[in-house]
A and B are shown apart, each in its own frame.
Chain A
Amino acid sequence: MISAYWKNIKSTFTTSFLGLKTTFRHFREAAVSRKTLSIQDSKYFKQDKGLMTLQYPQESFPVPDNGRYKLHNEIDDCIVCDKCAKICPVDCIDIEPIKATGTFGYTLDGTPKRIHAAKFDIDMGKCCFCGLCTTVCPTECLTMTKSFDFSEYDVDDHNYSFATMTPLEILQKKQELEEFNHEKQQSQTSPKTDITKPKVKVVRPVPKVKKSDSSEEKPSKPKFKPRPMMKRKKKDD
């Protein structure tokens, strides 16, 4: 009983000093603060002393150049194939295509551009950063950039539009397409092999695109077929 009393006093002193020593060590080390090294730096994990806080807006860790955060679309290289919108698991890419009457340009890798993008919106508020859209992109115009700080006051500001067409241009292109389709319908109803021959050469790519485009819209969502799995389980119970 008495020995326990003295043991208590002794342990109180030893443990208190240990605690005070530990906290004082941290207090002394507060003279140093962690440097903002990149995680690729070999010293990154060796900084275990000093102030750990990152004073974020004033300083930030360097992000690797291949960081995969905010999406960016280089609209000049985009062929508006809609693959990204289709693969997106959260449907954050919204594209409104307008078929051109012919090839109106080429991307940097030489792919002909045949569809105008009246709208190419990416809602970063919905994005889940899976990166599937960038892998399916045939011209590699859709990429993830290392910019990560794009917080906004209004949630609508998370919607980034990459299309560069003005409303007037969109209207013009739509009219052109309508006229073109109209002409084509007329030519189909009264086929004149003589006249269409030179035309076909120019127009040939268009029906191809048309086919792909029409196929784009068809497979909207696979029909939901309820599986009997849950029911089976219930039967087991």
Chain B
Amino acid sequence: MTTVIFFLPFLLLFVVFGVYAERKISAFIQDRYGPMEVGYYGLLQTVADLLKLIQKEDIVPDKADRKLFLIAPIVIFIVIFTSFSLLPLSPDWQGSSVQTGVFFLMAIISLDVIGIIMAGWASNNKFSLLGAIRSAAQIIAYEVPLTLSILCVLVITQTLDLQTISYQQGIWSTVITDEPNYLFGLAVTNINITEVGGILTWNVVRMPLLFLVWVIYFISSLAECNRAPFDLPEAESELVAGFQTEYSGFRWSIVALSEYAMMLLVSLLGVILFFGSWNTPLPNLGNIELATWTSGTLGSPSAYLWGIFWLVSKTFVMIFLQMWARWTFPRVRIDQLMSLGWKYLTPIALIFLLFCSIWRLLML
């Protein structure tokens, strides 16, 4: 459980620079500079914004349901921050070692919607309520393909423990299992890559179709985070700010913090499940032992540092993808959102679940 020492400051730092990165990326995509004035190249812009937010008055509308209104942002944040307790950071540094890690994580994330509905309902504002209802509909619709895509991975890994899943995808798989890793996970190929490691033992390569499953995961995780193009719950152009309309100052910044924390969480989970967790992408090639060099020695601080480095850098690539998608695609309509979720992602995820099950049979 010591990962909280890492995650809480990391999360705050990430939000500060994540917002900055988001602004810069959006600016570059639109041929602008973005923030330039505060600090070198605008680096301290978010810090200045945060200072401003904290100074603001904590307004509770007269007709709002006061108790619910005040605790809703905290519920949202607690729910998301709890999920961080499960994530492994490096081979020896793991959050809560729950046997049913992924299941618990999915269950906890689903509670997020309760916080959102609380916020929307308690605000006693038509925009907030509409945003909250949209959010509920959206999260229920997208929980299904998200869960199915995660299930595809779990069929391959045969475990719900996030740390075990991580171990399986690298050169240290021998620590937890005696089963060797074959190329594409197939014993038929008879190419043992247990010692090669690197990108070849990542889940997306062990079962190549998982890449398409990851696309489903990515799309539904965007919807789960309420991010563009699925940001209907807070659609600025139609609902002011959706369920956060009535919030101000510190409470609003907690909502914003949770939003970025959610982004980070689904990116981390995506990396752990599909892209080799804390494992290095560089394989051992004969005498050039890139994987061993870039993994450190198990049990020593070098393993911690390399593990965190690879996990975090892969996560940042995922977050860049999320931001890139946000500034590329326009918001979908509610009916388009539902049709995408129920008519396309869910059946396709089911088909991939079938494929993954068959693949798993071949892996034996």
Contact = CB atoms under 8 A, between A and B. Distances in A.
Interface string B2-42: 00000000000000000000000101111111001000000
Given A24-B324, A55-B36, A19 B329 contact: yes
Given A9-B344, A27-B25, A55-B36, A20 B328 contact: yes
Contacts of B343: 5
Contacts of A20: 324-325, 328
Contacts of B27: 30
Given A9-B344, A55-B36, A30 B31 contact: yes
A101 B40 CA distance: 64
A51 B325 contact: no
Sorting the interface of chain A by its residue count into under 10, 10 to 19, 20 to 34 or 35 or more gives 10 to 19
B325 A30 contact: no
B36 A52 contact: no
A27 B329 contact: no
Contacts of A126: none
Nearest to B326: A23
Interface in A51-84: 51-53, 55
Interface SS majority for chain A? helix
Contacts of A30: 27-29, 31
B33 A26 contact: no
A24 B28 CA distance: 9
B268 to A, nearest CB: 22
B252 interface: no
A109 B343 CA distance: 86
B32 A51 contact: yes
A53 B33 contact: yes
A149 B151 CA distance: 63
Interface string B328-344: 11000000000000011
B329 A16 contact: yes
Contacts of A29: 31
Contacts of A26: 28-31
A138 interface: no
The size class of the interface chain B forms with chain A is 10 to 19
A60 to B, nearest CB: 15
Interface in B218-247: none
Interface in A17-39: 19-20, 22-24, 26-27, 29-30, 33
A65 to B, nearest CB: 29
A53 B34 CA distance: 9
Contacts of A50: 31
A23 B33 contact: no
A51 B32 CA distance: 5
A51 B29 contact: no
Contacts of B325: 20
A58 to B, nearest CB: 9
Contacts of B327: 23
A56 B29 CA distance: 21
A6 B329 CA distance: 21
A33 to B, nearest CB: 8
Nearest to A34: B31
Interface string B302-338: 0000000000000000000000110111000000000
Nearest to A9: B344
A79 B29 CA distance: 57
Given A26-B28, A27-B25, A27-B28, A55 B328 contact: no
B346 to A, nearest CB: 13
Nearest to B329: A19
B344 A55 contact: no
Interface in A136-175: none
Nearest to B215: A13
B29 A23 contact: yes
Residue of B27, B32, B33, B325 with most partner-chain A CB within 10 A? B33
A20 B328 CA distance: 6
Contacts of B30: 26
A53 B29 contact: no
13 contacts: A16-B329, A20-B325, A23-B328, A26-B28, A26-B30, A27-B324, A29-B31, A30-B29, A30-B31, A50-B31, A51-B31, A51-B33, A55-B33
Given A19-B329, A26-B30, A27-B324, 6 more contacts: A8-B344, A9-B344, A19-B328, A23-B328, A30-B29, A52-B32
Interface of A: 5, 8-9, 16, 19-20, 22-24, 26-27, 29-30, 33, 50-53, 55
